[in-house]
Each structure stands twice: as structure tokens, then as C-alpha cells.
Amino acid sequence: MSNQITMRRRSECSLLVIALIFVTCYFSLFPLSNSSSLDEERQALLKSGWWNDYRNVSNHCYWASVLCDEAGSVTSIGLSSLLPFTIPPMQELQNLNVTAFPNLQFLDLNGMGLRGSIPAEIGTLTKLTYLDLSDNSLQDIIKATEDFDIKYCIGTGAYGSVYRAQLPTGKIVALKKLHRIESQNPSFNKSFQNEVKMLTKIRHRNIVKLHGFCLHNRYMFLIYQYMERSSLFYMLNDDVEAGELNWSARVNIIKGMAYALCYIHAS
């Protein structure tokens, strides 16, 4: 009898251990959501003024143009998908407290009639991979270059010119502005959009990072990570700069380019 009791207790202990392991693994994969942070996200959406009709719907993950992860945290806001059915009143972008969404990956506010400046807090969204603020009255970039004054131009190519711009936050970016002829070409418009879609998905150390873009009837430009020493083309065509590129450095550049091309084709 005592042996049976001992075996039953061992069996119960084994089942308990298995249950504890399962619970531990489950919550490591699907952590409990922080109810206070989720409420902060909900309040931020309400204060923006775009979801006033959803005040009686407690779970903001079911609101129009909002997507959440399994923990209930907002990962996507795509209000432009509601247009032209819902056209919000002109308002400040600052009405949307972006810091309330630490897991935000996708933010599409194209054509929302926004005005004012782009909040610097957007730069704190470390998981954000797609940002579209096109066709709004947000003029930070244009002001930073004084409406693309020639003194900010650092290079000109076949399809556009590149400008150095310092934003109000102090961050320096490179702007590739398309020439007017290309911006008015429908086929090039499609090519521009394809480039944006591709670059928003790419994260590689040897490929310059795309921060954003503007697709407007007046302006079409891409906002890139600023490279301090200009382009490889410039360096190779400058005797002093080219002299610094020994064969070892040039081989490393070729390897980096090869890795980047392989990454693009595998994506």
C-alpha cells in the first residue's frame, strides 16, 4: 500500500512539474499584457479625435484601422484606408501621442489633412518599420532645406538631386528629390512606389536606411540615412579620397555590396 501511495505521489509531482513547465513556456511566448499600458494606448487613440465613435467599444483592437498583437498592444495604425469615406478635420499630428504605442510597426496617415510639425517622438518608436505622412501639410523637411535651396544640394543624378537637411530635432538626413519631369511621369511614379515598398522591408547594414518618403503632386522625395562622407562614386572620382581607399578597403566594399545584393534577392 505504501509503495502505491509513493508511486501515486511521484506521478502527481511529475504531472505538476510538467504543468509548471508548460505554464512557464506559455507565458514566455505569450506574456501577459500590461493592462495599464493598453489603457494608455486606448486613451491616446481617443484623444487623437479620430475614434470618437468607438468610446463605448472597450477593446481598441476592434476599432477601424487598428491592429494589435496577441498581447493586445497596437502594432498598426492605417487610417488612410478609411479615405475617402471618412475625411477627418484638419488637425495637428501632435494630437496623436505616438509614445503610447511602443510596439507600433506600421503608421499610415497619408492624406489625413494633418498640419504642423512632425513630432520628434516618432524617432523613439524602435519597432516602427513603415511610416507614411504623404499628402499632409507637415513642412519640417521643406523648411529644413528652405524649399530645396541649392545651397543644401550635395549631389545630382539622372533622376533627382540629393539634399542635406537638419531637422528641428538636430537629426541630419539626406533627401533624394525627384526632378519634376520624372515626378510627372506615371510609369516613374509606379517605380517610385515600388522602391519605397522594397526599402521599407529591408534592414541590412550595407544598405542605406529609408526613414520616410513624400508622394505629392508638388514634391516627390525619399528621406534616407545621411552618409557623412558622401557616395562611393564621389570618393573614387576625387584624387585625395580615392588615395585613402587601398586595395584591402576596396575588396571589403565589394564584399559588402555582394552581401547586400544577395540579401535583396533573397528577400
41-54 pLDDT, tens per residue?
A: 999 888 887 777 77
For residues 165 and 180, give the distance between their C-alpha atoms in angstroms, rounded to a whole number.
Answer: 20
* In contact, 120 and 169? CB cutoff 8 Å: yes
- Is residue 89 very low, low, confident or very high in pLDDT (cuts 50, 70, 90)? low
The superfamily CATH assigns to domain 35-225 is Phosphorylase Kinase; domain 1 (3.30.200.20)
- Is residue 28 very low, low, confident or very high in pLDDT (cuts 50, 70, 90)? very low
Residue type, 228: E
pLDDT of 83 > 60? The answer is: no
pLDDT of 87 > 70? The answer is: no
For residues 78 and 66, give the distance between their C-alpha atoms in angstroms, rounded to a whole number.
Answer: 7
- Is residue 30 very low, low, confident or very high in pLDDT (cuts 50, 70, 90)? very low
For residues 242 and 224, give the distance between their C-alpha atoms in angstroms, rounded to a whole number.
Answer: 24
Write down the pLDDT at residue 17.
42
Write down the pLDDT at residue 7.
52
- Beta bridge mates, 177: 161, 221
Average pLDDT in the 217-224 region?
Answer: 80
Write down the pLDDT at residue 151.
93
pLDDT of 104 > 60? The answer is: yes
pTM above 0.75?
A: no
